[in-house]
A = this chain, B = another copy of it.
Amino acid sequence: MREFKTLTPYRKALKLLLDDLSEIKETEELHLSEALGRVLAEDVVSPIDNPPFDRSAVDGYALRAEDTFQAREYSPVGLKVIDEITAGEESRAKVEPGTAVKLMTGAKMPEGANAVLMQEMAEREGDIIRVLRPVAPGQNVAFAGEDVKKGEVVLKKGQVLRPQDLALLKSLGFKTIKVKRKPRVGVIITGDELIEEFDEEALKGGKILESNSVMLTGLVRQYFGEPVFYGVIPDDEKAVGEAIEKAKAENDLVLVTGGSAFGDRDFAHRFVKVLFHGTTIKPGRPIGYGERVFIMSGYPVAVFTQFHLYVKHALAKLVGARNYEVRVRARLTERVSSQLGRYEFVKVWYENGEARPIKKKGSGIISSLVESNGYIEIPEDSEGYLEGEEVWVTLY
């Protein structure tokens, strides 16, 4: 009887894996418009104060707030407009008591002014404006450095770049940004039983429509990687070995599905010096890893689990990504039980603060993945959770 003599505990195997990998050094300098979703390769320090000077935050009249303190609707204060500039211009005028400068949003505050009256709040006649209400010092002024100060770290290494991050970079004068090269991930599917196209006769003969390739290449894309698909390889020791060698040489990581157990056709582990093979995760127990190669199950649900519990974290380590998971608190709608000694991956549907466990079991039941949008993890020493208990859900 060939079986796993001992299962490596989940966290221990994860540590072995992450300790074995190091962050990719290579970076790419991308134009901001191409950097969405990429991972920042280094801290970004602002080269400037932003705004660089005190600026008007509205279209209106720059003035001395103290001139308006007595302004009332029944007793407006009149100020003389001594200069008028359009967008992108700077006024050289000095605002003295009783005067104002008309300016546009973003214009540098003229000397002497300390507040801006919104254009819509002024009544104008010729070069006189009537102020009906007091304006506070600093009102409608965007002060220098208020958004970002020169020398401040505005984005940290490992940030997955979002639209607003790109906007901040652009507002500070950056045109390009340094991101990590995408890890290349070779995907090898093995199994004589697999077919790529519908064929009723073949299915009757025991063939199975292969579905791991499109799932894994999609998951790799979701988590920072560039998948390279090596096709479906027959259960032939030489062919599997050659595919693994080739993929290892060409990629940062290699994912091999099928053949992770110790059956007659399970060749993959013969080509890899494994750091672990067989862990406490359920489903997906037979996973092996070594030399940047993951030996994964053939069953889609096991493969999906192995990806989320191991491969995802490996990819994040390669690019140094932070905050790549969304974890939420949820109330379980019913109890889930778990086998002691196994680290269970329980698929749930999360909605409205509640997590509903998916009942369908079985490593081949892809619909259980489709009907879920997240998972809870139940460690080896827990027998599960009660109905109504609060749990952490990781969304996918």
Interface set of A (CB-CB < 8 Å, partner B): 1-3, 32-33, 36, 48, 51-53, 55, 57, 59, 85-90, 103-108, 119-123, 142, 146-148, 154-155, 162-168, 170-173, 175, 191-194, 197-198, 200, 202-219, 221-222, 235, 261-265, 298, 300, 304, 323, 326-329, 352-353, 362-367, 369-370, 373, 395-396
A170–B206 Cα distance when bound, in Å, is 17
A91–B168 Cα distance when bound, in Å, is 65
A393–B81 Cα distance when bound, in Å, is 47
B167 contacts A369, C-beta separation under 8 Å: yes
A261 contacts B364, C-beta separation under 8 Å: no
6 cross-chain pairs, A with B, having the tightest CB-CB distances, nearest first: A163-B218, A173-B198, A164-B369, A167-B215, A329-B353, A87-B192
Which listed residue, B108, B147, B192, touches A88 by the CB 8 Å rule? Answer: B192
A365 contacts B209, C-beta separation under 8 Å: no
A207–B164 Cα distance when bound, in Å, is 20
A147–B113 Cα distance when bound, in Å, is 72
Which listed residue, B33, B104, B121, B221, touches A217 by the CB 8 Å rule? Answer: B33
Closest CB-CB distance, A334 to chain B, in whole Å? 19
User: Which residues of chain B come closer than 8 Å to A265, judged between CB atoms?
Assistant: 59, 86-87, 104
B173 contacts A52, C-beta separation under 8 Å: no
Q: A119-B263, A328-B328 are in contact. List 12 more A-B contacts (CB 8 A).
A: A51-B208, A51-B364, A89-B206, A104-B206, A105-B193, A106-B206, A106-B208, A120-B262, A166-B211, A167-B215, A171-B208, A173-B198
Q: Name the residue of chain B whose CB is nearest to the CB of A103.
A: B206
User: Which residues of chain B come closer than 8 Å to A3, judged between CB atoms?
Assistant: 120
User: Which residues of chain B come closer than 8 Å to A205, judged between CB atoms?
Assistant: 88-90, 108
User: Which residues of chain B come closer than 8 Å to A170, judged between CB atoms?
Assistant: 209-211, 213-215
**A121, A171, A194, A362 interface centre (most CB from chain B within 10 Å):** A171
A88–B210 Cα distance when bound, in Å, is 12
User: Which residues of chain B come closer than 8 Å to A219, judged between CB atoms?
Assistant: 163
Closest CB-CB distance, A385 to chain B, in whole Å? 16
Which listed residue, B87, B154, B353, touches A193 by the CB 8 Å rule? Answer: B87
User: Which residues of chain B come closer than 8 Å to A298, judged between CB atoms?
Assistant: 105
Given contacts A147-B364, A208-B106, A218-B163, contact A203 B52 (CB under 8 A): yes
A323–B372 Cα distance when bound, in Å, is 12
Given contacts A353-B329, A362-B57, contact A214 B163 (CB under 8 A): yes
Which listed residue, B162, B172, B396, touches A218 by the CB 8 Å rule? Answer: B162
A193–B108 Cα distance when bound, in Å, is 11
A164 contacts B33, C-beta separation under 8 Å: no
Q: Name the residue of chain B whose CB is nearest to the CB of A32.
A: B214
Q: Name the residue of chain B whose CB is nearest to the CB of A298.
A: B105
A120–B192 Cα distance when bound, in Å, is 20
B364 contacts A142, C-beta separation under 8 Å: yes
A369–B154 Cα distance when bound, in Å, is 11
A166 contacts B32, C-beta separation under 8 Å: no
A55–B210 Cα distance when bound, in Å, is 15
A211 contacts B120, C-beta separation under 8 Å: no
A215 contacts B163, C-beta separation under 8 Å: yes
Closest CB-CB distance, A143 to chain B, in whole Å? 10
A154–B235 Cα distance when bound, in Å, is 31
A328–B352 Cα distance when bound, in Å, is 7
A304 contacts B120, C-beta separation under 8 Å: no
User: Which residues of chain B come closer than 8 Å to A353, judged between CB atoms?
Assistant: 328-329
User: Which residues of chain B come closer than 8 Å to A367, judged between CB atoms?
Assistant: 147-148, 154, 168
